[in-house]
């Protein structure tokens, strides 16, 4: 199986992504989960990550806490979407597995430096603070990362936290800039894709009908977090963001995109956090990412349900 580290701010959609990964041990070896400040504060995100690990029954998966705020800016959170705990909706017990003592950034560096080069993939589901900090503290990790698969940014679908920026990039644009320039292979699942995998009532019903604890919890989570988005967009279902990262690793042919240059806006007050994606290759800037543009949404939900059904 492919070795991955999940860097995350759970977050209902992060939680679904984590469950999808933990339900797929034949393809994915989840080495560890690292929490970062984002949707809510670090403390809540680290607790939520452990709740999800326990829900999955995979209690040997270590959970670390990384950075509690962005590199340069004040933390912007999204309680209005995710609730005050970041994981409102299901009634999950307080976690019993301990949080690891080691700082999440040091865990990422140590794990990459001790492994064979290019054997570990970083899956990022939140602001890029931990990865950016790891790259600054130990630049040699850049050559050792197999791939960074991130949920972040938007181009055709513009922004969701400002008219120009997607939340994960907006929260820590300086960290995102460090990551985009690091030289490791990067695959980006942006709003262009996540807006197309909507959690419609029929799809949510199918998840609840799985009849297991995990299906029930995912139904409760997404029912909570979609309330805000349904009002905002007026669509039949809300976008489902972070699980696209894991789905890409499990079934890449669900997605289509192209290599191009992606640069992060860090200077302009109006458009800070914008992912300037040269999708049409109008600049000579070197390609640094694969930008996904479309997804087979039905195929995505078939995969998700198939895997969630394997959990407790
Ligand atoms: C991203 O922001 C968060 O609220 C979600 O968990 C997702 O990672 C979408 O913009
Ligand atoms: Ca997230």
How long is the chain?
Answer: 312
Q: Is 12 in the pocket of ligand 1 (CB under 6 A)?
A: no
Q: What is the pLDDT along the chain (312 residues), one digit of tens a residue?
A: 999 999 999 999 999 999 999 999 999 999 999 999 999 999 999 999 999 999 999 999 999 999 999 999 999 999 999 999 999 999 999 999 999 999 999 999 999 999 999 999 999 999 999 999 999 999 999 999 999 999 999 999 999 999 999 999 999 999 999 999 999 999 999 999 999 999 999 999 999 999 999 999 999 999 999 988 998 999 999 999 999 999 999 999 999 999 999 999 999 999 999 999 999 999 999 999 999 999 999 999 999 999 999 999
Q: Is 13 in the pocket of ligand 1 (CB under 6 A)?
A: yes
Catalytic position from the list 44, 82, 195, 241: 241
Distance from residue 67's CA to the centre of ligand 2 (Å): 15
Closest-CA residue, ligand 1 atom 4, reads: 39
Let me know if 241 is a catalytic residue: yes
Ligand nearest to the CA of residue 82, numbered in listed order:
1
ipTM, two decimals, is 0.99
Are the C-beta atoms of residues 82 and 229 closer than 8 Å to each other?
no
Q: Residue 92 contacts by C-beta under 8 Å, 6 or more apart in sequence?
A: 51, 52, 54, 55, 217
Q: Is 39 in the pocket of ligand 1 (CB under 6 A)?
A: yes
Distance from residue 49's CA to the centre of ligand 1 (Å): 15
Residues that place a CB less than 5 A from ion ligand 2: 9, 11, 14, 125-126, 242
Distance from residue 284's CA to the centre of ligand 1 (Å): 31
pTM to 2 decimal places: 0.98
Cα-based angle 172, 173, 177 (whole degrees, multiple of 5): 125
Are the C-beta atoms of residues 11 and 39 closer than 8 Å to each other?
yes
CA distance linking residue 296 with residue 197, whole number of Å: 8
Q: Is 46 in the pocket of ligand 1 (CB under 6 A)?
A: no
Please state whether 50 falls in left (phi above 0), alpha (psi between -120 and 50) or beta.
Answer: alpha
Bridge partners (DSSP) of residue 277 are 262
Q: Residue 306 contacts by C-beta under 8 Å, 6 or more apart in sequence?
A: none
Bridge partners (DSSP) of residue 148 are 122, 186
Is the preceding omega at residue 11 within 30 degrees of 0, hence cis?
A: yes
Distances (CA, A) of 25 to 1, 121, 207, 238, 267: 7, 15, 20, 28, 42
Closest-CA residue, ligand 1 atom 2, reads: 167
Residue keyed to tokens 């059904």: 309
Q: Which two three-digit tokens encode residue 146? A: 């197999």
């Amino acid at each position: 199986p492919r070795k991955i580290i999940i860097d995350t701010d759970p977050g209902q959609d992060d939680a679904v992504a984590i469950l999808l990964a933990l339900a797929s041990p034949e393809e994915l070896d989840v080495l560890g989960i690292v929490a970062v400040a984002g949707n809510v504060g670090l403390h809540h995100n680290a607790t939520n990550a452990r709740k999800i690990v326990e829900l999955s029954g995979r209690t040997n998966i270590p959970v670390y806490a990384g950075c509690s705020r962005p590199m340069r800016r004040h933390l912007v959170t999204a309680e209005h979407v995710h609730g005050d705990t970041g994981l409102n909706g299901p009634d999950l017990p307080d976690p019993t597995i301990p949080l690891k003592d080691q700082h999440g950034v040091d865990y990422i560096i140590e794990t990459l430096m001790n492994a064979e080069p290019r054997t570990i993939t970083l899956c990022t589901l939140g602001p890029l603070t931990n990865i950016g900090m790891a790259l600054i503290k130990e630049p040699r990790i850049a050559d050792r990362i197999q791939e960074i698969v991130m949920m972040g940014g938007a181009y055709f679908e513009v922004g969701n936290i400002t008219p120009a920026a997607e939340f994960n990039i907006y929260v820590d644009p300086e960290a995102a800039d460090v990551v985009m320039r690091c030289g490791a292979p990067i695959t980006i699942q942006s709003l262009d894709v996540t807006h197309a995998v909507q959690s419609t009532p029929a799809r949510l019903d199918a998840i609840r009908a799985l009849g297991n604890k995990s299906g029930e919890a995912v139904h409760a989570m997404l029912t909570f977090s979609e309330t805000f988005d349904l009002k905002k967009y007026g669509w039949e279902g809300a976008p489902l963001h972070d699980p696209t990262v894991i789905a890409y690793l499990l079934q890449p042919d669900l997605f289509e995109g192209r290599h191009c240059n992606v640069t992060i806006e860090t200077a302009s007050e109006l458009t800070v956090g914008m992912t300037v994606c040269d999708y049409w290759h109008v600049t000579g800037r070197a390609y640094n990412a694969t930008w996904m543009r479309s997804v087979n949404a039905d195929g995505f939900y078939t995969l998700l349900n198939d895997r969630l059904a394997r959990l407790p």
